[in-house]
Amino acid sequence: MQLELYRGGSARELMEGIERAIFAGQLAPGELLPPVRTLARQLGLSPATVAAAYRELGRRGIVHAEGRRGTRVRPRPPLLAPSPPSPPAGVVDLSTGLPDPRFLPDVGAALAAIARRASARLGRWGGNDPVLLERARAAFTADGIGAGEVAVVGGALDGIERVLDSHLLAGDPIAVEDPGFPPLLDLIAALGLEPRPVAVDDDGPLPDALASALRGGARAVVITPRAQNPSGAALTPQRAAALRPLLAGHPDVLVVEDDHAGPVAGAPAVSLTGSGGRRWAIARSVSKWLSPDLRLAVLAGDERTLARVQGRQRLGTGWVSGMLQATVAELWKRDGARRLTDRAAACYAERRMALLRALADHGLEGHGRSGLNVWVPVGDEHATTRALLDSGWQVAAGARHRLRAAPAIRVTVAAMSPVDAPRIADVIAAAQVGGLRSRAY
């Protein structure tokens, strides 16, 4: 290993040099680092200095110690990744995972409506908006989820991070969907947790895969009950009934659900949480149905988990902006916003089905039971995304979504017109060298 960017002789300087080497591409994800004594000789350092640098890199989730097999760069080290390129002029961006802006309510009107209340509130710092909590509890209750404890967090991923951090330690195994949401997979790496991939199909996590992860010592399970990103899977009552006994056999396992799409998912809410004395949490973001810029989610969970989350929150950010909470509460109650949400759910379903039918006409498999995306297994991600870009559509390659899952692409149908579905499917089909017809994910 050549550490050209390494400078100095302390453990911190060595650690920073290795981190720079990873970011510069000198060290690849999964690459084996030299043994402690070997690197110490190469750099003229003491073995204790190198060992200390490796320990700190492990604590930060950048490398992983595998005992006698050595220390490796994590497959997803928590380092700043380059932003995806903007699509060229004239190219339709189907890669973002974001909602159609035409189905989002007028935030400006809500801000104007709460202006007087917000001015009065500015003298009362902190706390959760009682109106927002009431609406959140009512929504959870309507879905059959007991939510006596509810908190407000800065988005679904913020809530999930706080829940995981409140219960798990670096090195703990965690069951996570495969394919899954890249920021969640990156967060797991940043927390130093060990992912246990759980394969999914259109109905949600596969029972055998979850059972294997639990046998492997998973101390937590994170699932997306509907609008799974990227596959669009939606948990059915039948699949939930098959998964609950598995979890019942591991009552100490934390169960976290990321219900990020909420009412625009196009599928009913089905939950694995809230049973007995289990530790659990559900994060519901407003980003897909009110606005991606409203960085807020409501978090339901057991009393101990919510107490830990809110206690830690007070030591950091303190609270989510009261004006932001009031804006969300105002939008949540408006009939116009509800009508837009219903329309969005119907239109996203129409767009998903248009693409799935067009793919099926070519004998190709697609997945998109719910949500804003369709997941299409392909033979070569790069060739398929390149062909689509050349034809005027930018989609997301599946690599960052996958741990062990087969290659695929993700198409955000929220930005797609149904009339374009046949042409998009034509390009995908033409890009499949050797006549790929179906591939499990």
pLDDT at res. 347:
97
Specify whether the backbone of 360 is left (phi greater than 0), alpha (psi in -120 to 50) or beta: alpha
The Cα–Cα gap between 422 and 244 comes to 40
By C-alpha distance, which of 116, 101, 99 is closest to 330?
Answer: 116
pLDDT tens by residue, the chain, 441 residues: 555 556 667 888 888 888 888 877 788 877 889 999 998 888 889 999 999 999 888 877 788 787 777 888 877 776 665 566 788 889 999 999 999 999 999 998 888 888 766 666 555 556 888 999 999 999 999 998 876 689 999 999 999 999 999 999 888 999 999 999 999 998 998 888 889 999 999 999 999 999 999 999 999 999 999 999 999 999 999 999 999 999 999 999 999 999 999 999 999 999 998 656 789 999 999 999 999 999 999 999 999 999 999 998 988 888 898 889 999 999 998 988 899 999 999 999 999 999 999 999 999 999 999 999 999 999 999 999 999 999 999 999 998 899 999 999 999 999 899 999 999 999 999 999 754 444 445
Give the homologous superfamily in CATH for domain 92-103+337-430: Aspartate Aminotransferase, domain 1 (3.90.1150.10)
Amino acid code (one letter) for 248: A
pLDDT at res. 435:
46
Q: How many CA atoms lie within 13 A of 214 on its CB side?
A: 22
| Buried residues in 242-264 as b, exposed as e (16+ CB within 10 A) | bbeebbeebeebbbbbbbbbbbb
Query: What is the rounded radius of gyration, in angstroms, for the C-alpha atoms of the chain?
Result: 23
The answer to whether 144 and 174 have CB atoms below 8 angstroms apart is: no
Amino acid code (one letter) for 63: V
Q: Which residues contact 306 (CB under 8 A, 6 or more apart)?
A: 149, 150, 151, 281, 299, 300
- Distances, alpha carbon 358 to alpha carbons 36, 85, 207, 354, 420, in Å: 55, 28, 30, 6, 10
Let me know if domain 107-333 sits in CATH 3.90.1420.10.
no
CATH topology of domain 11-73: Arc Repressor Mutant, subunit A (1.10.10)
Provide the residue ranges of all domains of the chain, joining segments of one domain with +: 11-73, 92-103+337-430, 107-333
pLDDT at res. 72:
86
pLDDT at res. 190:
82
Amino acid code (one letter) for 269: A
